[in-house]
Structure 1
Amino acid sequence: MADLITNTYELTQIARARNDFLSEFAGSLDAKRPDAWRQYGYKTDLCFRDYRQAYERGGPAHGAVHKILGKCWERLPRIKQPEADKATPWEEAITALLKPINGWQKLMGLDRRNLVGRFAALIYRVADGRPLSEPLSKGDALKDLIPLYEDQIKVTSWHSDQNDPDTYGKPAMFQYRARGESLSGDNQGKPEMWADVHPSRVQILAEGADGDDFFEGVPLLKAGFNALVDLEKLRGGGAESALKNAARTIVVKFDAQASPTTITSNPDGSPTERSVKSVIEDQTKALNSNQDSSMVLQGGEATTLQTQASDLSPQWTIAANEFAASVGLPFTVLFGQQTGRLASDEDQKDYIARAVGRQLNTLTPMLTEFVQRMQACGIIEAGEFEIEWPDLGAPSDEQRLDNAVKMVTANKTAYDGGSLEPIFDLNEIRKVGGFEERAAGAGDEFKEDTPPADPAADPNADPTAAKKPPADPKAKSQAKK
């Protein structure tokens, strides 16, 4: 008996150890329920296909990607020489380089693909007379830019020489797929092509990766993926319950004296081989598919099965707020307001701050690498440059005019209060209103007196009149006396 108890205890300990081991990979944050994620329907391990499916088929994920992308690229940046206010020939050459190949759109495409997965890639197609598998050399022109999803490119070989710290652990050769693995629909027989690409022709964007390991990139949708699952459950479950209520599920109840077999007879009363169940099912289908159908029962009662549809708004709001927090967007910016009210000023400020921080910390290094590598292969002239992003918080034309009116009103209030000088001069008001400044002496001061006539405009005027000082009223009164 003691051996049996000992063996049972040992088996229990082994089972508990196995459960503890498996719980480390269950993905739950709840120590009391290590398999809670499995019960909730959450995946423990996520892959690129999960993120892309959520982006392509889910409204919240798609909206989050494009809200961030659209704000960051709301207005294109300037790649310019330092301290250059106006466009220089060097800057115009970059514009001429990107315009024929729709370069800005493809750089945005690289960023969009990076937001979906851990990383994205950009392949340079340069006219240097070499295939893609050879190192990039001096080229005559940039022929194209090819943005790729994470599943369209892979590393086929790595640098393994530990004596070379500059290249050790970095890709030695890439291979890219011309058509994405996740692409669905009819491709009309487009060939599946893989091509070797040298790393010098590939630019990687992996947001969230601290070093050169682009596999450490953090997908935008990863942190809030469980909330996306909840949103899908609530949306689908609510729609399914509404559909079932609208489908009029028929429940038939017969009393003890009923003779249901009568409904299976022919119109002339002769019996048939059909069952009561099949007849009722046919009548039910006809009732749900035709508004003019009816049911005939012999001593039975037909009712509809209805379920109480609960209000899912509180649960949906909790999941939506969690997902909005995971992507760093205010709820009102991502989902809007059902009442028609716009997002508050504070929400808009947070939204702009999110985009500005990303412009400086992610997109500026990405554009800087692109320009430097184009300079290295001779496509862009060498020299110092900087990336200048437009002010996302700049007021609109309507706000500018409103501010200008407020400045004019302030001037009038000061004048009515006895101030001899305006608070704002004309050029300050024009600048705030979004207009060019006027040259000095071109009406930059407010004057109530009518300006003197120009003697040159009157051929009969005395040419020396403009040089004479104005008459003194006191002198005239003394002369009369």
Structure 2
Amino acid sequence: MFGGALPTMSNDAKRATAWADYGYPELLEFNNFHSMFKRNGIARAGVMRHVEKTWETNPWVVEGMEGDKPHSETRREREVARALRQLSFWNRMQAADWRGRVGRYSALYLVFDDSQHPSRPVTRPVKLLKMQPLFEAQLEPLEFEQDQASPEYGNPTSYQFMPQAVQTGRDERQSLTIHADRIHIIAEGADDDSIYGIPANEAGFNDLLTIEKIVGAGGEGFWKTARGAFSLHSTGKDGIDVQGLAQMFGVEVDQVADKLNETAADLSAGMDKLLMLGDMEAKALAYSLPSPEHFFAVAIQSYAAGVSCPLPILLGQQIAQRSSEENSREWAQTIMTRRRRFTVPNAEGLVSKLMRFGALPEFEFYIGWDDLTDATLEQKLGNAKIMSEVNKASLGTGEPPAFTSEEIRDVAGYEGAPDTDDLDDGIPEGEEDGETTGTAA
């Protein structure tokens, strides 16, 4: 159970037990979030969409300080890139990233070749052999830093690793004590320097339960409408012949009611079932199902707001081209913010740790990553074409070209000056000195 969690039965002061009435749990544990992630497609999307977009491409380690002029790949950059590739480093980071969004945190268990028991600090220098991503349930804090002068005061100094905890629940019989040197924590939302972040589905958990109820009730209602439901009525003058029913079912009189319930349950379980009625008749019951679209829309919109994801992207829908482009642009900006504020600092912390331990060559570095908000090649070429047309229109009026060829090439995504003089100042060949073949619109 999440430590320090306070009961929250409702935010409605007039109805203190409203959440219990709605069927919402009072306290949320890791198992709640993990089960929802495994069994609910929308909950899974709420966890994975951010991670999938964040790791759409891999970052790289750059020697120097951020803001330095671009340079060719250095020898030490190549060494680090080779080492990280051999460890599937970025894939392991991605795997730990989505596990961290399921609960409050996840971890990478760093396995070194220092021949020390995992409960001991790392001896330097070492070689990193493996990075194992772990769920919160697999790794619990065991001991904490007690030195109030330490910058790590209050954080774990050791952990209890329970490999099978996610599948079988807490099982201390199969556990291992691991020193904090060998653990890298990933906790989105932990902006208080602790290891405890915020589960991605915490804010929208009630909405997910509402969606399950709507979808489940709709499916069950459709089944019952298609199958048909019945009520049983006596056809005899003296009421129900319990003795006759007992004889027909081959049970004692006091077991007739249970047998009728079994018969009704058996009928509901399949399409090709028959009722043994004796001296009773079955009358069909009519169901009137409310349209679920409105109720579903309210819940799914609330959930999308809770995970900060545009609804069309969350559900994988493309409603209209303009709407899709606006959602994609906003989504790319959201993920760039996530990269900048969470993913890159976390990755830099792990790389720095490995450099301190001698697992990677040590030098000043930063994490480089492509920009998700950059224009596509098609968009860049379109912008370059517009700039060329502006130059053409300027020439027709006797004005000098507005853009140089270098500027146009830069916008198109090509560096350096062109190899020929055919496109000087961005003007097509044969149109110098006012020799234009048409008028720009």
TM range (shorter): 0.7 to 0.9
- 8 Å CA contact 1:54–1:61 kept in 2: the answer is yes
Letter in 2 for 1:205: I
Match of 1:400 in 2: 380
- Secondary structure at 1:99's aligned position in 2? helix
Distance in 2 of aligned mates of 1:37 and 1:154 = 29
Deviates more, 1:300-309 or 1:327-336: 300-309
- Secondary structure at 2:140's aligned position in 1? strand
Match of 1:309 in 2: 289
Distance in 1 of aligned mates of 2:39 and 2:119 = 36
- Secondary structure at 2:190's aligned position in 1? coil
Match of 1:81 in 2: 63
The Cα of 1:81 is off from its aligned counterpart by 1.4
2:248 to 253, 274, 293: 274
The Cα of 1:64 is off from its aligned counterpart by 1.2
- Secondary structure at 1:104's aligned position in 2? helix
Letter in 2 for 1:176: F
Letter in 2 for 1:208: G
Instruction: Indicate whether 1:331 and 2:326 are aligned.
Output: no
- Secondary structure at 2:223's aligned position in 1? helix
TM-score after normalising by structure 2 = 0.81
Match of 2:182 in 1: 201
Distance in 1 of aligned mates of 2:271 and 2:300 = 39
Match of 2:162 in 1: 177
- 8 Å CA contact 1:337–1:343 kept in 2: the answer is no
Distance in 2 of aligned mates of 1:406 and 1:158 = 62
- Secondary structure at 2:166's aligned position in 1? coil
The Cα of 1:176 is off from its aligned counterpart by 1.1
- Secondary structure at 2:114's aligned position in 1? coil
The Cα of 1:314 is off from its aligned counterpart by 0.8
Match of 1:135 in 2: 121
Instruction: Indicate whether 1:32 and 2:11 are aligned.
Output: no
Distance in 2 of aligned mates of 1:48 and 1:282 = 40
Distance 1:295 1:202, change over 3 A: closer
- 8 Å CA contact 2:61–2:366 kept in 1: the answer is yes
Distance in 2 of aligned mates of 1:294 and 1:52 = 41
Over residues 251-273 of structure 1, what are the superposed CA-to-partner deviations in whole Å (9 max), with x where a residue is unaligned?
A: 56676799999xx9xxxxxxx95
1:427 to 387, 399, 406: 406
Distance in 1 of aligned mates of 2:133 and 2:280 = 67
Distance 1:33 1:296, change over 3 A: closer
1:58 to 22, 37, 40: 40
2:110 to 108, 115, 124: 124
- 8 Å CA contact 2:161–2:175 kept in 1: the answer is yes
Instruction: Give the RMSD, CA atoms, in angstroms.
Output: 3.7
- 8 Å CA contact 1:352–1:392 kept in 2: the answer is yes
Match of 2:90 in 1: 104
- 8 Å CA contact 2:155–2:195 kept in 1: the answer is no
2:217 to 237, 242, 255: 237
Deviates more, 1:109-118 or 1:336-345: 336-345
Distance in 1 of aligned mates of 2:429 and 2:8 = 81
Match of 1:9 in 2: none
- 8 Å CA contact 2:312–2:319 kept in 1: the answer is no
Over residues 124-163 of structure 1, what are the superposed CA-to-partner deviations in whole Å (9 max), with x where a residue is unaligned?
A: 112223222211122342211111111111222233355x
- Secondary structure at 1:203's aligned position in 2? strand
Letter in 2 for 1:178: P
**1:349-364 mapped onto 2 (5 Å cutoff):** 349-364=329-344
1:376 to 339, 356, 368: 356
- Secondary structure at 2:131's aligned position in 1? strand
Q: What is the aligned length?
A: 411
Letter in 2 for 1:150: E
Match of 1:69 in 2: 51
Distance in 1 of aligned mates of 2:217 and 2:50 = 29
- 8 Å CA contact 1:26–1:35 kept in 2: the answer is no
The Cα of 1:306 is off from its aligned counterpart by 2.5
The Cα of 1:63 is off from its aligned counterpart by 0.3
The Cα of 1:420 is off from its aligned counterpart by 5.7
**Which sections of structure 1, spanning at least 5 residues, go unmatched?**
1-23, 186-190, 265-271, 452-481
Distance in 1 of aligned mates of 2:295 and 2:104 = 30
Over residues 307-330 of structure 1, what are the superposed CA-to-partner deviations in whole Å (9 max), with x where a residue is unaligned?
A: 111111111111111111111112
- Secondary structure at 1:175's aligned position in 2? strand
Over the matched positions of the two proteins, sequence identity in percent amounts to 28
Distance 1:203 1:288, change over 3 A: closer
Match of 2:439 in 1: none
Letter in 1 for 2:248: R
Match of 2:394 in 1: 414
Distance 1:360 1:249, change over 3 A: same
Match of 1:468 in 2: none
Distance in 1 of aligned mates of 2:157 and 2:339 = 30
- Secondary structure at 2:359's aligned position in 1? coil
- 8 Å CA contact 2:106–2:134 kept in 1: the answer is yes
Letter in 2 for 1:195: L
The Cα of 1:375 is off from its aligned counterpart by 1.2
Letter in 1 for 2:49: K
Distance 1:290 1:404, change over 3 A: same
